[in-house]
């Protein structure tokens, strides 16, 4: 069933479980993720993003994502990952994505917040949640590049002082990009 992430976020918080989030870019991955979620009897987030558009037609694939989500026996949330412009995330929403990320991490902190809040102000009245990104979550393989990309804790604190819920539903901090470091940390 195509599900609303806000309901399942509250359920997961109250019952102390996590909802898996998978980026999918072909039919085999999409079917595999939904099959696994059904076997586990667990809600799941399936997402597609800008990075996959070169290999897969988003317009065609989004129809498949939404169709399979509706047919699933478990809650399935469709998410657009790393929408780098309002035009991109608006297009994702018109093609059935019911959760969006506004990735303005390439901009300075103030502009990132302004652009993210612009998306939130547009999509909140429509019942669509928006995720923000602070710092860059990428695939750096050089320690110095990855270290430079880590979200500085003070920026996260500044966002919290601005009342994060007034700006966005979720925050994606770049600390996770540390997983891509392949060099020793002397």
**For residue 180, what are the CA distances in angstroms to 25, 117, 162, 172?**
20, 29, 30, 16
Alpha-carbon span 137 to 106, nearest angstrom: 11
Number of residues written out for the chain: 186
In angstroms, the CA 123 to CA 89 distance is 10
- Residue 35 annotated in active site: no
**Residue tagged active-site, from 4, 11, 35, 81:** 81
Burial of 39 (0-12, 13-18, 19+ CB in 10 A): exposed
Residues classed as catalytic: 81
């Amino acid at each position: 069933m195509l599900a609303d992430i806000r309901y399942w976020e509250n359920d997961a918080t109250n019952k102390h479980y996590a909802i898996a989030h998978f980026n999918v870019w072909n039919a085999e991955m999409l079917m595999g993720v939904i099959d696994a979620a059904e076997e586990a009897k667990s809600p799941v987030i399936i997402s597609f993003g800008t990075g996959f558009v070169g290999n897969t037609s988003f317009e065609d694939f989004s129809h498949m994502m939404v169709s399979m989500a509706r047919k699933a026996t478990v809650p399935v949330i469709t998410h657009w990952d790393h929408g780098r412009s309002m035009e991109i995330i608006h297009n994702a929403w018109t093609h059935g994505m019911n959760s969006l990320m506004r990735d303005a991490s390439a901009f300075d902190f103030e502009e990132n917040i302004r652009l993210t809040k612009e998306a939130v102000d547009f999509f909140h009245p429509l019942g669509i949640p928006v995720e923000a990104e602070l710092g860059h979550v990428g695939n750096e393989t050089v320690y110095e590049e990855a270290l430079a990309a880590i979200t500085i804790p003070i920026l996260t604190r500044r966002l919290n002082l601005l009342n994060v819920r007034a700006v966005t539903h979720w925050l994606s901090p770049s600390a996770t990009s540390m997983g891509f470091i392949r060099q020793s940390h002397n």
